[in-house]
Structure 1
Amino acid sequence: MGFGSYDESEQENQNADTDYDDDDAVSVHENDHDGSVSFDTGATSGELVDRLQDMKDDGDDEP
């Protein structure tokens, strides 16, 4: 079973339109922030480890 013929002449003149204004560009630093995040569950380390083990055990049933 074939996927058709390969014609190199079709590959010669592929031009991508890369002309754009800087106004159209996306700024990856638009939503940067400096700060910190803290999270207090009120649970002990042992309780968290036990909960993690429970979640791992529950995942054993998935294919």
Structure 2
Amino acid sequence: MGFGSYDESEQENQELDAELDDDEAVTAGENDHDGQVDFEFTASNDELLEKLEDIKE
């Protein structure tokens, strides 16, 4: 066998439990928040561009 040893009949006999309860579902707006995020940059644009060039190399 190629990729590890397993019984191929086990592949065929697997049952998928695709039933989802509404209680377990995640809604898209469940984790929304109305907040503000501030960032403070200590590096200059030239320093950041230099780091970018180093990363590209």
Structure 2 length-normalised TM: 0.50
Structure 1 length-normalised TM: 0.46
Instruction: Look at both structures and tell me which one has the larger radius of gyration over its CA atoms.
Output: 1
Give the structure with the higher percent helix.
Answer: 1
